[in-house]
């Protein structure tokens, strides 16, 4: 066969291979899209809204309150956790005061929100929410993980509205100083690219595919409640919410100047169960405990409590510890003469 004929045959084969690869890729994308749509449809038949939507100025946030009494305890979730993660905690706290959880923008039953959604934006959203939901301060704010940053920034911006605080294994801006802790940097990828990629991956069912079996419900969770939480956590908007929050360092930088805790009644709950899947590594845990101990000392009315039966996922793993801490802070606030 002449050399020219060989090249033509090779070109035809290569073109067929490329065409086949394109067809296969299209089929994979179609299958992934159908997988997500079917899964989302099945979840929607179960996920009836818990709470109600409150317009905060052109968009809504979902909030759910139970119980009665003052001060109102407001629960602020971790980075991409829906407000529903506080269900057992709310059940316990509502026995002695009003207790509210809410979904931050892009999570649960709340509308999409601003980008970026660093802690200061979340704090402003929360302030608009309590105003439009007609919740009267002072509040006891309870923050888990990233939610700890949000409540500190809320207190910085609206100090007269906070009478007590509980930090449930909250994020620490100086966590990067702990030996063995992975160093966090802002990614060089443009935010628009990260956001667009998050939308695409979400629609292709990435969160659903990566979701692990939640296993049996922990104590204080019913099987139905645990199933609802698992469905909320695999919603496709979770990836976008995570992208909008951005690198942890972004909010770390904002919260460094957040003070005003010197006379604040506060309890710092710290993970103490090395065997938990959500725990810090054995090399990091002692440093993490010490960092949280020093944070509790920022207030003359603060103290640290080690939660021996919990890792980082405290709202799921040890709601009773949070309930006890909120009860103590509420009693302190009432003893201070506040309603």
Q: What is the pLDDT of residues 114-160, one digit of tens each?
A: 888 899 999 999 999 999 999 999 999 999 999 999 999 999 999 99
CA distance 157 to 124: 8
* pTM of the predicted structure, to 2 decimals: 0.85
Query: In terms of Cα–Cα distance, which of 127, 153, 139, 145 is closest to 316?
Result: 145
Q: State the Cα–Cα distance between residues 165 and 254, nearest whole angstrom.
A: 19
pLDDT tens, residue by residue, 46-100:
779 999 999 999 999 999 999 999 999 999 999 999 999 999 999 999 999 999 9
Residue 45 is predicted with a pLDDT of 64
CA 62 remoteness from chain centre: 15
Separation between Cα atoms, residue 98 and residue 40, nearest integer Å: 33
Q: Which pLDDT score, from 0 to 100, does residue 162 have?
A: 97
DSSP state for residue 183 in the 8-state scheme: P
Tell me the longest C-alpha to C-alpha distance in the chain: 99
pLDDT of residue 262: 94
Query: Which residues are paired to 101 by β-bridges?
Result: 64, 75
Strands 60-66 and 99-102, sheet pairing? antiparallel
Q: What is the pLDDT of residues 268-325, one digit of tens each?
A: 999 998 877 778 888 889 999 999 999 999 999 999 999 999 999 999 999 999 999 9
Does the pLDDT of residue 19 top 50, yes or no? yes
DSSP E strand boundaries for 171-217: none
* Alpha carbons within 13 A on the beta-carbon side of 272: 14
H or E element: which one contains 151?
helix 146-157
Q: Are 61 and 234 in contact (CB under 8 A)?
A: no
Mind listing the domains of the chain with CATH numbers?
52-335 (3.40.50.1820)
């Amino acid at each position: 066969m002449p050399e020219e004929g060989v090249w033509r045959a090779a070109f035809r084969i290569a073109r067929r291979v490329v065409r086949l690869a394109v067809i296969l890729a299209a089929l994979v994308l179609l299958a992934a899209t159908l997988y997500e749509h079917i899964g989302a449809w099945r979840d929607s038949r179960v996920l009836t809204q818990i709470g109600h939507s409150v317009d905060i100025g052109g968009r809504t946030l979902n909030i759910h309150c139970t119980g009665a009494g003052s001060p109102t305890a407001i629960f602020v979730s971790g980075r991409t956790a829906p407000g529903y993660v506080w269900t057992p905690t709310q059940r316990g706290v509502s026995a002695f005061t009003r207790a509210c959880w809410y979904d931050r923008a892009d999570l649960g039953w709340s509308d999409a929100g601003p980008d970026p959604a660093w802690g200061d934006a979340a704090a402003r959203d929360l302030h608009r929410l309590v105003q439009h939901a007609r919740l009267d301060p002072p509040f006891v704010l309870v923050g888990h993980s990233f939610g700890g940053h949000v409540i500190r920034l809320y207190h910085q911006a609206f100090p007269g509205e906070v009478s007590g605080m509980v930090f449930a294994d909250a994020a620490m801006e100086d966590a990067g100083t702990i030996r063995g802790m992975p160093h966090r940097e802002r990614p060089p990828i443009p935010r628009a690219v990260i956001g667009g990629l998050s939308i695409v991956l979400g629609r292709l069912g990435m969160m659903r595919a990566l979701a692990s079996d939640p296993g049996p419900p922990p104590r204080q969770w019913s099987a139905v409640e645990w199933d609802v939480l698992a469905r909320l956590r695999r919603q496709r908007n979770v990836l976008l919410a995570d992208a909008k929050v951005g690198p942890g360092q972004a909010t770390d930088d904002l919260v460094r100047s957040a003070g005003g805790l010197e006379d604040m009644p506060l309890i710092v709950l710290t993970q103490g169960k090395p065997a938990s899947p959500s725990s810090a590594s054995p090399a990091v845990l002692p440093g993490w405990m010490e960092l949280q101990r020093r944070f509790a000392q920022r207030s003359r009315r603060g103290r640290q409590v080690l939660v021996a039966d919990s890792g980082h996922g405290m709202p799921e793993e040890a709601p009773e510890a949070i309930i006890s801490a909120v009860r103590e802070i509420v009693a302190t606030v009432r003893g201070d003469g506040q309603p």
